[in-house]
Amino acid sequence: MPSLLTLHPRLTGLFLATTLRRHSSLSPLSRRLAFPISAAAARRQSSAASTQSLDTTPNDSPRPGRSGSLSSPPVYDSPQRIDVNPPKGTRDFPPEEMRLRNWLFDNFREVSRLFGFEEVDFPVLESEALYIRKAGEEIRDQDRGNRRVALRPELTPSLARLVMQKGKSVSLPLKWFAVGQCWRYERMTRGRRREHYQWNMDIIGVPGVTAEAELISSIVTFFKRMGITSSDVGFKVSSRKVLQEVLMCYAIPENLFGKVCIIIDKFSTFMTLFDFINAISGSDLQKFELPEVLVVNSKAKNWKQMEKIPMDEIKKELKAAELSEEAIEELLQVLSVKSLAQLEEKLGAAGEAIRDLKKLFSLAEKFGFSEWIQFDAAVVRGLAYYTGIVFEGFDREGKLRAICGGGRYDQLLSTFGGDNVPACGFGFGDAVIIELLKEKGLLPELSPLVENIVCSLDHTLQGAAAAVATILREKGQSVDLVLENRPLKWVFKRAARINARRLILVGSSEWQEGMVGVKILSTGEQYEIKVDELK
């Protein structure tokens, strides 16, 4: 779906939109008067924004000059109120939401540090050829050199590109992590948006399943820090090699393997969505864009009433992928297996899939997360590059989609023209975990925290107050400087709102003696102190 990708040249307009939305309780007249702007100014701002547009088709030539815009912006006779909501599927982060996001990201980074990982980052805008997608559509466009570009839908291909770029200048193994924004143009459900932030941890250069055990252990460590237990969350674990072994028995060509995995993953996603529908009320259903077949059948009481629809559909798609009836039946039987013992009965003990999975479950005992994981042959992960162990984090109440997921991708670099390098990793989005923490009542109350609020008692002393603020800031303390001549009642309210630790008052007589007044706001203690003795 072609889109006109406009990059904001400044953040001021976004701040204005957020402010307007957060003050929507103002009267219409107040809202119009709060931010007066002339029609000419509105046209200039609209024109300036259009200068950042990227070309959408290779045949369209940009106009001469810097703008490169393909069409003139609309001109209005009078100022038009903008839509103050962000684009569908995206979010603003006002201060209270930003505090929560920073808290979450700090925990991502701290867990990564505990496991010895180094942080990396990549461009949000990447070459479209870098991505192999299972479904949906990344948000894409063309740059002025007619190169196909995309807003990244995930981080792993960018990681692979960077590893290839570094080549032999880095020593293996690499333990890298990233926290970055990703974009996907697809249906939105609870915990899934068109943009989200994702925490990735990847290990490059370790062929054994010890790497997968380390990654799962890091996620478990994160959950424990959040107050989440194994009774709240679990991991479904399987291996792509299970499907490979089944397909090999029926001489299915290797080039069909990825297609079969995508079909199986769609079936698994279908089941997850149905569980979600059963967990919400009918009125809540209107908030989400769901496949029609799920909405129509949302009143089914259990899977027996729905079984024929997804099963018939999966058989139909597998048959279209040129699998025989016999192969389809065997494959579906294997996908229903929920224990390693059953899987071993079907596939035998000699295969790589069984060996890897047994090793992982053994390591889980040593790492201390055995109660968190369970075998489920239906977990394949939809991305085409996985080659071995795969896993998904899920909430045991079944109210949410997958919390996180990952696995081994030993051949990803070779698909980009590099050498095969053993690798595995996971992606962990910010949206679903926030929903889970809300469900469990585990979200922290994060208030703003400022160490000092500095206020002058006379407008002639505002420069002196600024000097005090500078002294404290140079000592590493946070300071909210009152920038206008305000009554003390207002200052105290401000101090309470920003959770200031102490109030520093600059008065005329005290300042003449090189002193300021200090009040510890939590205890009410008051004293005077020399400015150069402030700590």
Give pLDDT, residue 77. Answer: 73
* Nearest CA-CA partner of 289 in 303, 301, 277: 277
DSSP assignment letter at 167: G
DSSP assignment letter at 399: -
Q: pTM of the prediction?
A: 0.75
Q: Round the CA-based radius of gyration of the chain to a whole number and report it.
A: 29
Give pLDDT, residue 337. Answer: 78
Identify each DSSP E strand in 205-318 by its residue range.
233-239
CB 235 within 8 A of CB 121: no
Give pLDDT, residue 190. Answer: 65
Q: What are the φ/ψ torsions at residue 66 (nearest 5 degrees)? A: -85, -20
Output the known binding site: 154-156, 184, 198, 202, 381, 385-386
Angle at 407 between CA 402 and CA 413, to 5 degrees: 130
| C-alpha to C-alpha distance for 471 and 477, rounded to whole angstroms | 9
Angle at 192 between CA 191 and CA 193, to 5 degrees: 120
Per-residue confidence in pLDDT tens, the chain, 535 aa: 333 344 554 554 444 444 444 444 433 333 333 334 344 444 444 444 443 333 334 444 444 443 444 556 666 677 888 899 998 888 999 999 999 999 999 999 999 999 999 999 999 999 888 875 443 445 555 555 667 888 888 999 999 999 999 999 999 999 999 999 998 876 666 666 788 999 999 999 999 999 999 999 999 999 999 999 999 999 999 998 887 777 777 666 666 766 777 777 666 555 444 444 444 444 444 443 434 444 434 444 433 333 334 667 777 888 777 777 877 787 777 777 788 888 888 788 878 889 999 999 999 999 999 999 999 888 877 567 888 999 999 999 988 878 999 999 998 998 888 999 999 999 999 999 999 999 999 999 999 999 999 999 999 999 999 999 999 999 999 999 999 999 999 999 999 999 999 999 999 999 999 999 999 999 999 999 999 999 8
Contacts of 218 (CB under 8 A, 6+ apart): 111, 112, 114, 115, 201
* Sheet with 526-530: strands ordered across: 479-481, 452-456, 502-506, 515-520, 526-530
| C-alpha to C-alpha distance for 483 and 451, rounded to whole angstroms | 17
Tokens describing residue 27: 């009267």
Give pLDDT, residue 509. Answer: 95
Contacts of 58 (CB under 8 A, 6+ apart): 142, 146
Residue type at position 236: K
Give pLDDT, residue 401. Answer: 79
Output the known binding site for L-histidine: 154-156, 184, 198, 202, 381, 385-386
| C-alpha to C-alpha distance for 270 and 250, rounded to whole angstroms | 26
Q: Diameter of the chain by CA atoms?
A: 95
| C-alpha to C-alpha distance for 122 and 157, rounded to whole angstroms | 10
Residue type at position 354: I
